[in-house]
Amino acid sequence: MTDEASHGGGRDADGEHADDNGHRGADGDHATDDDHDHADGHDHHGDDHHGDDHHGDDHHHEHDVDTVGYAVVTVSSTRRIDDDPSGDAVVAAVEDAGGEVATRDLVNDDYDGVQSAVDRLVERDDVDVVVTTGGTGVTPDDVTVEAVRPLFEKRLPGFGELFRTLSRAEIGTAVVGTRATGGVADGVPVFCLPGSENAARLGAEEIITAEAGHLVGLATRGEHDDENGDDESSSGTGDGN
């Protein structure tokens, strides 16, 4: 029994959900593939700072991104885009937080397919964060983590640790069966969530959307400082992360 089963999605006894994933065409086309001008849709300069009475928070969040564009990817060989509760939960969390869903995809439980999909998405100008659901369990066809990790130039171990901590209150020791993972690929935060609806909602609402603007701002800070002619070394605003 794993966290995905206890989070409320149907699944095989020893693997990822049998009914919580969706099928994607072999050609890998996005369900929604309309790019938009990244510069127009996203403010990467974090102008909305906290008040002077929280000076430390000012420095910590001064690079935050106001509007974040998300790619939502369901990893499965059985689901459809119109029958995808976990993807729906992520989309709802993103929209409730004021984010934008740039694209929503379905990908088969296949190492190469998952890796190429995420690799392609992090290159898109309108995608600031990638969130996958499904394929994080322990069955042989759960390959999302293995497929995505090689793309990371930095890992975010705190994401998986916090997700499992929050999940334990709901599912107890079954939390050992989830391998929820986060990292940064080509400057884009990527989060891999379990495939159950409850797990996807928990990770998206409680962690990802809460920290996405901050993480995106930090991951792309050098790019924006160069564009603006800022000298980070003399600003005294290093985040220390």
Mean pLDDT of 11-35: 40
Query: Could you state, in order of their start, the residue ranges of all structural domains in the chain?
Result: 3-10+64-226
Residue 4 has pLDDT above 90, yes or no: no
How far lies 121's CA from each of 29, 115, 132, 223, in Å? 11, 10, 11, 19
- What H or E segment, with its residue span, contains residue 204? none
Mean pLDDT of 57-70: 74
pLDDT, residue 55, reads: 46
- Higher model confidence: residue 90 or residue 9? 90
Residue 24 has pLDDT above 80, yes or no: no
What are 167-207's pLDDT values in tens digits? 999 999 999 999 999 999 999 999 999 999 999 999 999 99
Averaged confidence pLDDT in the chain: 78
Please state, in angstroms and rounded to a whole number, the distance separating the CA atoms of residues 125 and 138. 33
Mean pLDDT of 105-116: 97
Please state, in angstroms and rounded to a whole number, the distance separating the CA atoms of residues 241 and 142. 31
Residue 101 contacts residue 95 (beta carbons within 8 Å): yes
Q: How many residues does the chain have?
A: 241
Could you tell me the two tokens for 15? 């693997």
Task: Count the Cβ atoms, other than its own, within 10 Å of residue 165.
Answer: 10
What is the three-class DSSP state of 188? strand
CATH (residue range 3-10+64-226): 3.40.980.10
Q: Which of 32-36, 76-80, 223-227 has the lowest mean pLDDT?
A: 32-36
Whether the model clears a pTM of 0.85, i.e. scores above it, the answer is no
pLDDT confidence tier of residue 222, bands split at 50, 70 and 90: low
pLDDT confidence tier of residue 112, bands split at 50, 70 and 90: very high
How far lies 112's CA from each of 40, 143, 152, in Å? 33, 9, 15
Residue 227 has pLDDT above 60, yes or no: no
